[in-house]
Structure 1
Amino acid sequence: MTRAPIRWELLPLVCAGGAIGVAARHVLTALVPDSSVVWMTAVINVVGSLLLGFVAGVCGARHARWRGFLGTGVLGGFTTYSAFAVQVAGATGGPQIALVLAGSALLVILAVGAAVAGLVVGARVAREAAA
């Protein structure tokens, strides 16, 4: 498999988008009590997966600037599976471990399903816009 060359001219767009996405995630998690942060992170990841699928569906192989800014940047900064993993790891003590692990598996399933839905809708929007 051949990798596409790095498009250095997109780096400022990706960085700016990433800053926006991280700031949005920070604000949303700051709005909920500490006991709900793991749930907010889960919601952020599912919604971000849906939106990333939509962006990928609309942009396809075209629109590298928008894909870089919105996809890799904004939504890449918005979603955070590493923070979710740390939050889950911190909550896996005691008798709730099975529930926590089941919830983690459910999150992955929901996020992938959301991404697929976003791809389908985004591709349909792109086709209708091109028609």
Structure 2
Amino acid sequence: MLLVPVDARSLPWATLAVNIAGSLLLGVVVGWLDDRHPQARAFLGTGVMGGFTTYSAFAVASAAFIGADPGALGPAALLIAASVLGGILAAFVGLVIGRRIADVPGELEDPEDAR
């Protein structure tokens, strides 16, 4: 966020795209690893996906956009709703994909189950 200055005159579409993609990928990670690999899930979910998504950048850019043009509340509200609802939908789709990947025989079996 600090490397890319906030342009208060434009909606943060790139940030929206990154957050939705991150929600999808986090859903895949959680659905795939579930409780079988808690350390890998924590590293990939919290660490990698937490660093990939940019919720704070989205919040600052949205607030700056509204502050620069109070008349832009409508488009900003649509962007905010799209981010939240799109993120939830993407996470749901990711969970479904991750669970299907986990159901593939021989994929990342728990060492105790392999015995």
Aligned residue pairs, count: 102
Aligned to 1:73: 47
Moved over 4 A (4+): 33-37
Aligned to 1:87: 61
Aligned to 2:80: 104
Query: Percentage identity across aligned positions?
Result: 43
Q: Is the 8 A contact 2:29 2:45 kept in 1?
A: yes
Aligned to 1:55: 29
Letter in 2 for 1:122: G
Task: State the Cα distance separating 1:40 from its structure 2 match.
Answer: 1.2
RMSD: 2.2
Larger Rg: 2
Q: What TM-score do you get using the length of structure 2 for normalisation?
A: 0.78
Q: Is the 8 A contact 2:31 2:95 kept in 1?
A: yes
**Could you say which structure has the greater relative contact order, defined with CA pairs below 8 angstroms and 6 or more residues apart?**
2
Task: State the Cα distance separating 1:86 from its structure 2 match.
Answer: 1.0
The CA distance in 1 between the partners of 2:64 and 2:51, in whole Å, is: 22
Q: Is the 8 A contact 2:15 2:58 kept in 1?
A: yes
Distance 1:37 1:102, change over 3 A: closer
Instruction: Please list every run of 5 or more consecutive structure 1 residues that lacks an aligned counterpart in the other structure.
Output: 1-25
> How do residues 1-131 of structure 1 correspond to structure 2 at under 5 angstroms?
34=7, 38-92=12-66, 93-130=69-106
SS class of match (1:62): coil
Where is the helix percentage greater, Structure 1 or Structure 2?
Answer: 1
